[in-house]
Every structure is written in structure tokens, then in C-alpha cells.
Structure 1
Amino acid sequence: MSSTTSAGPVALSARALGPDLARGCMLLFIALANSHYFLTGTTAGAEIRGGFPLDGSGVDRAVTWVIATFVDGRAFPMFGFLFGYGVAHIVRRQSEAGATPREVRHLLWRRAGVLLAVGVVHGLLLFAGDILAMYGVLLIVGAWAVRWSDRWLLVVAGLFLALSALPSADSLSVSTDPPGTVMLPPDLATQLAERPPVLAFIALLGPIGFACPYLLGLWAGRRRVLEQPERYRRLLVTVAAAGITVAVLGAQPVALALAGVIAVPSAGVLDVVGPLHDATGVLGGLGYAALVTLAARRLESVVEGRPGRVIDALAATGQRSMTCYLAQSVVWAVVFTPYLLGLAGTLTVTATALLAITTWAGSVLLAAELGRRGRRGPFEVLVRRATYRT
């Protein structure tokens, strides 16, 4: 029997600003990305493409272009990267505390188990597009990857990125499917009956799309890239500039079509540009993480290590990202579910974007208040206790 004890979670006051600030900011993008997939259009039989009703105004089309260019398929890869980065941080702390590889792996599996459990409940009761269960499955498998060499991490990440860029008709960015009863159930019985297969599908196949940013996060976490921005400044600047530029350019065939600027391409062309939109989004997610890290370092240096109330609030949101993510889903469930407010056929793309921004701002205020009290979010406490048994 091993005599080692695991290192507990890092105190809130000791956490690096960059990763937390990135999570806090990107939760706005998560809200914008998730909410528009509930919309059915304000006119009967409205055409849906990429989760956007095409019967909106000129303002709606402009908002659609912004979201399709900068948000959809860009925020989630960044969270996948930060998830891998956090796993690398856990592994390093446990190893430094004397834990064996087997003990570290079991600790990660406990963390995966609570993510899987919370994700299933979340998906059943609130949001069918849950990703927490997918993160749990990714970590169950990805716990073995923490022992891989740096070269192998990069090679396999590159293979998964190439796989995501292959022509396919399954890209959500060009899908014409309107939200069905899985997303908008007419009653609770239908909801509980129809969601389990979809949740299982996302949880089991979703890790394929997140494997690349997760593995790159492991690689970057080993080097503490986001915690040492001065040391890795050239790398961060390159990734921010190149990643965001490629993501913006790669999004244009889809974004311009969704906004009605160009005609919708043929099915064969969509099978190419859809995966292109998704694959370049992975690079955009990395670019966002690098950009926010550089901005955080700049803010710290300008104000001598005290970023200010707004930055503190955003970082507090990132520290409680799971709680804030779940709080968003409560809003979506209340606003869009047909047997509750049922506004999926009433709200426009613009109104939904404003709702997403307001929801995110509310979560920032909530997280800031918890931060002032020195309290973690309730779901962060749950993950902490399940992972570290404290």
C-alpha cells in the first residue's frame, strides 16, 4: 500500500490569472454558441442552417456573421485546451507530492466520474448539448495520455486535427436540421425518454473532436506556457496572431453563406467548407487562449500585479466556470423549453445574443460575489471533494 497523500487543489489566491481569465471571457462565447441552436425562426417553416434561422432582419444576419466567424466552433476547442492544461497541472502537483502514476490515474478517473455524473444529470434535465459527460469520457481515456512523450502528444494531436478537416456532411456549422424534441421537448416525459441516446452519442463520440486541443493542452501544461507568458511570449504571439487569423479566414465560406451575403454552396462544397470551419476553429481556440494570456500579463504589469475589479470578476468567473456554465443552462431551459416559457419561436438571433450576453454578465456578477467571500462555486466544491476526497 502506498504511503503517499495527494496534493489538494490550488488555493484560489495562488492560481495564475491567464487561464482563469481565458475561461471567464470565453464563457460569453459559450453562451452565444449554445443559445442560438434553440431557435426555430419567427415565421412558420423558417429555414434553419448552422443553428441560425434565415428569416431574420439585416441586424440578425450581421449578428449571425459575427457568431459564425468568431464564436461557433472556436470557444469549445479553447476549453478543451484549457481542460488538458489543467490536467497537466494536476499531474505535476501530484507527482511532486510523491504520488505514483497509478495513484494519479485513479485521481483523474475520480474527477472524470463526477464530470460524467453531473453531465448526465445536466443533459437530462437542462441542456441536451451537454459537454461535461464528454469531458468525463475524454479524461477516462485521456488519463493514459499524461504519460506520453511530448513528441507523441503533438503527433497524435496533429492527426486528430487532420481528421477533423476531412470532408464530411456531419458538420454542425452547415446542418439544416431544426431543433427537434430532444432540444425542445413538449413535456418532461418526452425529454427524459429521448435525451439519453443523444447524450450517449455526444459523450462517446465528442472526445474525437476534442482530442487535439486536449492533447495540446497537456503539452502546454507541462511547460506552464500560460503561467509564464514572458518566457513563452514569442510562441504566444505567434499562436494568437496565426490562430485567430486562420480561424477568421476559415470561417468565411460558412459565415458569409449563413449571413446571406453569398449563396448557399452546393452539398458537395458544404461537405468541405463545414469541416474547414470546424478545423480552423481549433486553431482559433488556441489563439484566443494565447491572446487572453498575453492580455492578462499586460494588465498585471500595468497595474503592478493588481488587475482591478473587472478583471478580478472575469477571473473569478473562470475559477467557477463549471458553475457558471450550468447556470447558463438553467436560463436556456426556462426560456426555450416549450412547457416553460417556450420562446424558441419568438426570439430572433439578435434578441437571443442579447439574452446570452445578459446571462453571462449575471454569472460574472455571481462569481465576483463568491470571489469577494472567498468561496468556490458549488460544483467546483463537488468536483474537488470527489477528486481529492476532502
Structure 2
Amino acid sequence: MARPPRLGSLRGMTKQGGPTGLGERALGPDLARGFMLLFIALANSHYFVYGTRVFGGFPMDGSSADRVVGMVLSTFVDGRAFPMFGVLFGYGVAQIVRRQRESGKEWWPIRKLLWRRSLVLIVLGFVHAMLLYIGDILAAYGVLLFLGVWALRWKDRWLLIVAALVFVLTALPSDDSLATASDATDPSMLPPDFLGQFGDRIVVQPFIALLGWIGFLTPFLVGLWAGRRRILERPAEHLTLLRTTAVAGLTVAVLGALPVSLVVGGVIDQPSDDVLTRLGPLHDASGVLGGFGYAALMVLIALKLGDRQGRMTLAIAAVGQRSLTCYLSQSVVWAVVFTPYLLDLSRTLSTTTTALLAVATWLATVWMAERMRRANYRGPFEILIRRVTYQPKRTAATRSRSSGSLA
């Protein structure tokens, strides 16, 4: 029996019901994922910077340049990139379901396939959090997928109704204050020693995994709805919707971020705790709409580019095609640079220099992904998750033939 080709060597070839070949992928979603990984690097890295007083994840005792950079990041980046990935995650699940249904699969096998995918995300996320970055989102995505499979057969209106309901609930005032003191660094974030970090993180990680998915539920459900209509794959058929979403979503995101970003920038004084209980959810809720806006904008840019795709466009799209590998690569940099028992630069770098580090890290992943693209290689973690998800079950006939050949 002929040996099947390696997943890493597939291009433009999709086994019926299997993963989409690299040559068949739409540019828009991949370009969005690739570019937004820059925003994720910027959003994650500044939380490692030490400050005697922190607001919204930004040290408030930095230079004027730090305050300007913090204000820009708080307005355009923080809480805006992750919702976009939630949309694309739901969209990707809808694509998997469509391919499986077109290949003749029933709903129960499709659920089991997605549960295998969720399991590998949960396990990979746990290892990621224990070894590299406690702020892992992969496990939360895995839990979301495990529960979200029950929404696959919902009617469109129920997807949007539940998404809207969760959006409203998460936008209500919350006691989770934006301001935190940082006289002592969080040992789960910056572990003082290698062995001690496991004890600190094993307590925190389950809460992130089991509760973090709630914040991604609205984007996920909207992504499922959009995936059913193939909106991001066929943008020319949905121009009005995409343009409206881009303009309205990004406008609301910027306006909703201003109260927090003006405090981060030192333009206005920090408000009372009572006001903060409203500002935090406002910032996050507007960020969800901003995530929709960013996704729509990137797809419109991809449509505008058409066949005029330069080297940089292809390289950024290659990052999107290997987003899991590139995301984990970022965490390697954060662990090496900021962990106290390694380089321990959390007190040395500022908001500005950490932002430059984030840009440099993203550019390094662009270079790495481009090399993989030219080598026609998916990426190690993309291969892993696809092999677990689409691992074919050997039939009795296949086992019989294999036994006969070995005999």
C-alpha cells in the first residue's frame, strides 16, 4: 500500500474531508491572522515591564515616550487583536464542518473530529503555560471548541442572538479594576526559579483555561455565522457588510478605548474605582467590535491586492498560515528575555523598548514563515494539530492487508 504524502509537503492538494491545502487557502483570513500576530506581540509583551504603579497593564512611571506608546497600544491594540482571532477561529471551525459535510460525514463523527482538535489545543496550551507563558489562550480556545461543537447545528439567528446576549453581559460593569500595584512581581508571570514556576502556574492556568473562553464566545459564534456564508473567502459578494463592519467596528473601538488610553497616556488623571468598573468592560466590549472591524479591513485589503501580491504580502500571509507556530515562537522570546532566572530584563526594558522588541519578534516570525513557505512546509505545530485532528482510523480490511504484507 502506497505511503501517503507528508502533510508538510501538501500544496494545493486536499484529501476529501481533510485540511485545506496551502494553495487553496483564501488570502484574506491568512493575511489577517499574520498581521494581527504583530498586535498580539505588542499586546502581550508590555505586561512583563515592571512598574511601581500599573494601569491597564502599562507602567505609569515611565518616560513621555512610554506614555505615548502606551496610549497608542491601548487605543489600537489591547483587547482588539484577540477578538479578531476569535472570529477567525469560529470561521475556521465552520470551514472544517462544511468540508466534512461535503465529504458525506454525519454530525457525530464531525463532533469527535473537533473534540480531538480541542484536546490537542488544551494539552498544548497547558504545556505552553507551564513552560513559557502563563497568559496562554490555546487551552481556553480548546475548551471553547469542546463546548462550541454543540452550536454547530444552531440556526443562524440563534448564533447571533446568543452572541449578542453574551456581548451585553460581558459589557456590564465589573469589579475587576484596571489599576493594580506591582511592588512585587507575579510569580506565575515572572517565576523566580524553574522548578517553582510549576507550583505557581498550576494554580493559575486552570482558571484561565476554564474561564477565559467566555471572552471569546461572542467572536466565535459570529465567526461560525460568517463561515457558513463564506464571507471572508468571497468578499466581493459582501462588500457592503465588510465596509460597514470595518468603519463602524474600528470607530467604536477607538472611541471606546479613549477613556482608558487617555489615562495610560497621562492626559487625564486616573478616575475613581467606581468609574473604573465601567471603563474596563467598555474598553473590552468596544475591542470585540474592533476585532470584527480589523478582520473586515484585512479582507478588504486582500481583495484590493487581488493578484498583485508582493513578497511582503505573501510573507505575512505565510505567518497566518502558520499562526500557531508563530504564536508559540513569540512566547519563547518572552520567556528568555523576561524570566528572572534567564535574562531578567523586566526592570531594564520600558514600554517603548518592549514594543520595539515585539515588532522585532514579529518580523523574525515573518522571516521564519517565509522560509517555511518557500520550502513548502506547513509548520511543526500545524502539522501536529492536523495529524491529531484528521488521523484516519484504520479499517479492518486495511489492518488485514497490512498484516498480510508483513507476513
Shift of 1:175: 3.6
1:176 correspondence with 2:186: no
Q: 2:48: which partner in 1?
A: 38
Task: Give 2:375's aligned residue.
Answer: 373
* Partners of 1:169 and 1:72 in 2: CA distance: 19
Q: How does 1:181-192 map to 2 (within 5 A)?
A: 181-192=187-198
TM-score w.r.t. the length of structure 1 is 0.95
CA distance in 1, matches of 2:284, 2:46: 17
Give every structure 1 segment of 4 or more consecutive aligned residues whose post-TM-superposition deviation is greater than 4 Å. none
Instruction: Output aligned runs, 1:192-211, within 5 Å.
Output: 192-211=198-217
| Cross-structure match for 1:101 | 107
CA contact (8 A) 1:237 1:290 kept: yes
How far apart, in 2, do the equivalents of 1:74 and 1:232 lie? 23
SS in 1 for 2:136: coil
**What secondary structure, in the 3-state scheme, does the structure 2 residue paired with 1:147 have?**
coil
How big is the shift at 1:6?
A: 6.4
**Corresponding position of 2:335:** 333
| Matched-pair contact (CA < 8 Å) for 2:163–2:222 | yes
How far is 1:176 from its partner? 1.1
Q: For residues 330-374 of structure 1, give each alpha carbon's deviation from its aligned partner in whole angstroms, at most 9, with x where no partner exists.
A: 000000000000001110000000000000000000000100111
CA distance in 2, matches of 1:148, 1:190: 45
Residue in 2 that maps onto 1:10: 20
2:32 aligns with 22
Whichever residue aligns with residue 213 of structure 2, its letter is P
Give the C-alpha shift of residue 100 in structure 1: 0.4
Deviation string, structure 1 residues 122-161 (Cα, Å, up to 9, x no partner): 0000000000000000000001111111000000000111
**Contact (CA 8 Å) 1:33, 1:67: kept in 2 or not?**
yes
Deviation at 1:306, TM superposition (A): 4.0
Tell me the distance in 2 between the aligned counterparts of 1:306 and 1:371: 18
Residue aligning to 1:295: 301
Aligned-pair CA distance for 1:32:
0.3
The aligned amino acid for 2:302 is: A
1:313 aligned residue: 315
User: Structure 2: how far apart are the matches of 1:160 and 1:182?
Assistant: 29
Instruction: Provide the secondary structure at the position in 2 that maps to 1:176.
Output: strand
Match of 1:360 in 2: 362
Residues 172-321 of structure 1: matches in 2 within 5 Å? 174-178=178-182, 179-300=185-306, 305-321=307-323
Distance 1:36 1:201 in 2: 22
Give distance in 2, aligned partners of 1:142 and 1:241: 29
CA–CA separation in structure 1 for the residues paired with 2:316 and 2:181: 35
Pair 252,388 (structure 1): closer, same or farther in 2 beyond 3 Å: same
In 2, distance between residues paired with 1:273 and 1:202?
22
Provide the rounded CA distance (Å) in 2 between the counterparts of 1:61 and 1:190. 34
Kept in 1, the 8 Å contact 2:93–2:224? The answer is yes
Indicate conservation of the 8 Å contact 2:122/2:143, yes or no: yes
The one-letter amino acid of 1:316's match is A
2:388 — aligned with what?
Answer: 386
Q: Deviations over 1:24-46 (max 9, x none)?
A: 000000000000111113xxxx2
Letter paired with 1:314: I
Conservation of the 8 A alpha-carbon contact between 2:53 and 2:181: no
When Rg is computed on C-alpha atoms for both structures, the one with the higher figure is 2
Query: Which letter maps to 1:27?
Result: L
> Which of 59, 82, 87 matches 1:76?
82
RMSD: 1.0
Unaligned runs of 5+ residues in structure 2 are: 1-14, 393-407
% identical aligned pairs: 62
Q: CA–CA distance in 2 between the matches of 1:347 and 1:166?
A: 35
Q: C-alpha separation between the residues in 1 aligned to 2:308 and 2:381?
A: 27
User: Would the aligned equivalents of 1:6 and 1:99 in 2 still touch at CA under 8 Å?
Assistant: no
Q: Distance in 1 between matches of 2:143 and 2:205?
A: 12
Deviations 1:93-130 (A, max 9, x none): 00000010001100000000100110000000000000
